[in-house]
Amino acid sequence: MRIAVPAEGDGGLQSTVSHHFGRCPFFVIVEIADVEQGRIGTVERADNPFYGAHQPGEVPGFIHSQGVDLMLVGGMGQRAIAYFNRFGIEVCSGAAGNVQEAVQAWLDGHLSGFEPCAESKQHAGHHSHRHHDHPHHGSESRGPGRGSGQRREP
């Protein structure tokens, strides 16, 4: 199981979760060694090639190329969710704090599924706001891990 989390810094698990998945400088990709026991395996950093500017579908395509199964985000619009789903990537919203806290919240069952942020529902196609104050919840689904990424950390 491979999980990607948009990050503000390159500090691995200690990086702060970015509130905008497309404009974050990095993604932290966490390999879950054992989902049942909640054991984190390798941690990788991937530089966002679309940092600062991206077109619809570019970031989901990049995340797919990293072999990611699940994207943990603070929030996301419906159109972006659809792009990730087309690539077979589950999206789970509500991630906050640092990457380790977000992944652990998912492993503990406190984060599951997604709900598009309220502003995205009202302004479809216009998604430039920040997500730190939006509650998100939904249903859960977990898939098998696959693929490899870029830089690994111990």
Segment 98-154, tens digit of pLDDT: 999 999 999 999 988 765 544 444 444 444 433 333 333 333 333 333 333 333 333
**What pLDDT is recorded for position 115?**
58
Give the whole-angstrom CA distance, residue 82 versus residue 104.
25
Residue 46 β-bridge partners:
27
pLDDT score recorded for residue 121: 40
Q: How confident is the model at residue 48 (pLDDT cuts 50, 70, 90)?
A: very high
pLDDT of residue 113: 77
What pLDDT digit, counting tens, does each position of 50-109 carry?
997 878 899 999 999 999 999 999 988 899 999 999 999 999 999 999 999 999 999 999
Q: How far, in Å, CA of 26 to CA of 29, rounded?
A: 10
Residue 128 is predicted with a pLDDT of: 40
pLDDT at 109: 92
Mean pLDDT of 12-29: 94
pLDDT of 42 > 70? The answer is yes
Top pLDDT among 33 and 137 is at 33
pLDDT, position 119: 45
H helix or E strand, kind and range, residue 121: helix 118-122
Please report the pLDDT score of residue 26 as a whole number: 97
Q: Which of 105, 141, 109, 125 is nearest to 5 (CA)?
A: 105
Question: Would you state the structure tokens that stand for residue 75, as one six-digit string?
Answer: 């929030």
Phi/psi of residue 102, nearest 5 degrees? -65, -45
Report the pLDDT value the prediction gives residue 36, as an integer from 0 to 100: 85
**What domains are defined for the chain?**
2-141 (3.30.420.130)
Q: CA 60 to CA 65: how far, in whole Å?
A: 9
